[in-house]
Amino acid sequence: MSARQQPNLDLARRMANAIRMLAVDAVEAANSGHPGAPMGMADIAEVLWNRHLRHNPANPAWCDRDRFVLSNGHGSMLLYALLHLTGYDLSMDDLRQFRRLHSKTAGHPEVGVTPGVETTTGPLGQGLANAVGMALAEKLLAQEFNRPGHDIVDHHTYVFLGDGCLMEGISHEVCSLAGTLRLSKLIALYDDNGISIDGHVQGWFTDDTPRRFSAYGWHVVTVDGHDPSLIHAALQRARSVAAQAEGKPTLICCKTVIGKGAPNKQGSHDVHGAALGAAEVQATREALGWTAAPFEIPADIAAAWNATERGCAQETQWLQRLAAYRESFPAQAAEFERRMAGELPEGFADSLPALVAALGQRSDAVATRKASQLALDAMAPKLPEIFGGSADLTSSNLTNFKGCTTAGPNAAGRFTGGNHMSYGVREFGMAAIMNGLALHGGFLPYGGTFLAFSDYSRNAVRMAALMKLQVVHVFTHDSIGLGEDGPTHQPVEHVPSLRIIPGLDVWRPADALETAVAWAHALQRRDGPTALALSRQNLPQLGDASRAAAIQRGGYVLSDMEDAQAVIIATGSEATLAMQAQTALAAEGIATRVVSMPCTHLFDRQDTAWQDAVLPPALPAVAVEAAHPDFWRKFVGRTGRVVGMATFGESAPAKDLYAHFGITAARVADEVRALVHPRPRVRAGADVETA
């Protein structure tokens, strides 16, 4: 064994205590935070980060680094301490600013804010799911790019997790799938301390976790989480299992004491989520034999922790392998580097207008879910990084495309790469795994389910928006238009509620051309996720391809009339109703403008001149959408009207439902008439006033 594998145990103990005391001092200074997990997991962290983790503090973006995820993100000071100690651009002053406004050390780790943080964690279980996505990305890329003697993709994904992560249902979704996919380079270390916020978990969490994960198909080990030798041996064994041709993911169950080192509070929920207090901090210093002042690290400990030299050497070795690979396989190397840089293929953006225009030439009625598949047929083959899937609804969501190949175990149980996968009935897990794929790099993921089931995946959708990840959610069966499946499957509040997630572009296209533009926009967007709300029922084409540029602005004039007296705003299938209402009103001499607004977020980002040109402030407006009406008040104002529905649906054919709920061209026309020719109304005991 090397010296790195045979550490001075006293030095290892002091290195772990450095983590403990930085966590104690930071939480105490902030008078806020969670010292228990960092103190309890310090020994595990020391072994992993000092003896196993391949990373380079000088280059946190090195693409063949091991990924480390702190799924129990409330213990964020554990990660911040590790990043500071190993040499990342995270100063002691940054640690002193823990949980302060605009600091690099937020209450929970945030990707893009703190160097070395791989994903934003906090909602329990999602970090674990992100790690599954990262391990999947590594496996897919390795199969695609590695060649005999040239393993340019060869890294592990490590994840720390706690009881809370395992109690969350998403852990079942993703860990079951990880076992099926044999994601052997995924190594999870479970902080088995038996404590959560309410106290000892034995009253509400008595699962046999090792047997649970064995049933998933994982390799499972149980160790004393405070014995460095046993932790090291377990990690070695996990890496050995990962190296096998058809290995398994590994769970290392580490029995720990929460808050270890705090003599009067360790092992209790008192140390879980609150500062220790001055007296207990002093008692902890004495118990650990820690004599350094707050936020000070002894020189020998600081030197032992610094990993920059080792990390630079590891990256240099990899760069040499990449250079040899590039010499032998120049085309593959160029493609690998492009994808890991997150750049679109050369000429892809330039080809999109023609692809969009081709779909805009269709004259037949087509459901927008089918239009989405047609867009994928045209665009996906030109985008090797695209990785699609569905939560057991591929034939309904139509997320597969011509020439796509299936990723997953083959008939012999061996994993084979591809660009489309069935996630099974795991909407939440799918969405969070997609986030992990995007975070890892090399992939542009999308996944499908019914819009009504976006509630299952919502928090992962929110996390994608928070992290500004490029992922695409294909939500089909977007309204009562799906018909007989009834109110359990008919979304009413879902599109409006998705629209209020900051940074999520929600598209509800009205025809094939708008759908193609939505996909083109999603594939080029780099600053956040996209959701597509797509119809089950066929919708007519509403115009030719000359609309494409206007559609790209989120809202545009679909049909206009001279001296229009009102505006009708519509999305999705209801744009057809708006056009029918316009025709009926024109026969009566009432001129209207029809505005299609497939993406309200994009319209909101336009300049005032465009917004006012599309929706003249002086014109009254009626909005129509087969969804909850409240969202549209911002566009129609207090005097405008909204045709929508604020009740759940019914089970019946779509045509009958639209009539039953009054979402019809006739109803839209009535609302316009009421605005253009208001009838007088009388207040009791008051003068007559116009409506």
Active-site annotation, residues: 427
Handedness of CA 582, 584, 587, 589 (dihedral sign): negative
Cβ-Cβ contacts under 8 Å for 177 (sequence gap 6 or more):
132, 423, 424, 426, 429, 433
Backbone angles phi, psi at 294, to 5 degrees: -55, 140
Backbone angles phi, psi at 443, to 5 degrees: -140, 150
Cα–Cα dist 273/106, whole Å: 15
> What does the chain come to in residues?
691
Backbone angles phi, psi at 590, to 5 degrees: -100, 110
E-strand stretches of 193-349: 195-196, 199-200, 219-224, 250-255
Cα–Cα dist 530/518, whole Å: 9
Residues 583 and 604: beta-carbon distance below 8 Å: no
Residues 153 and 217: beta-carbon distance below 8 Å: no
Phi-psi region of 292 (alpha: psi -120 to 50; beta: other; left: phi over 0): beta
SS3 642: strand
Cα–Cα dist 453/475, whole Å: 8
Helix, strand counts (H, E) of the chain: 27, 24
- Both tokens assigned to 114: 């703190």
Query: Please, which residues bridge with residue 445 across strands?
Result: 387
- Strands 415-416 and 408-409: what pairing? antiparallel
- Strands 556-559 and 592-596: what pairing? antiparallel
Please report which residue ranges of 361-393 form alpha helices under DSSP H.
368-379
Q: Alpha-carbon dihedral of residues 626, 628, 634, 639, nearest 10 degrees? A: 80
- Both tokens assigned to 619: 């014109």
CA terminus-to-terminus distance, the chain: 86
CA R_g for the chain: 28
Least Cα distance to 511 among 556, 468, 467 occurs for 556
E-strand stretches of 19-126: 67-70
Residues 275 and 35: beta-carbon distance below 8 Å: yes
CA count, 13 A, side-chain hemisphere, 6: 3
Backbone angles phi, psi at 445, to 5 degrees: -90, 145
DSSP 150: B
Cα–Cα dist 587/508, whole Å: 29
- Both tokens assigned to 297: 């690290």
Residue 550 CB coordination number (10 Å): 17
- Write the burial class of residue 279 (CB in 10 Å: 0-12 exposed, 13-18 middle, 19+ buried): exposed
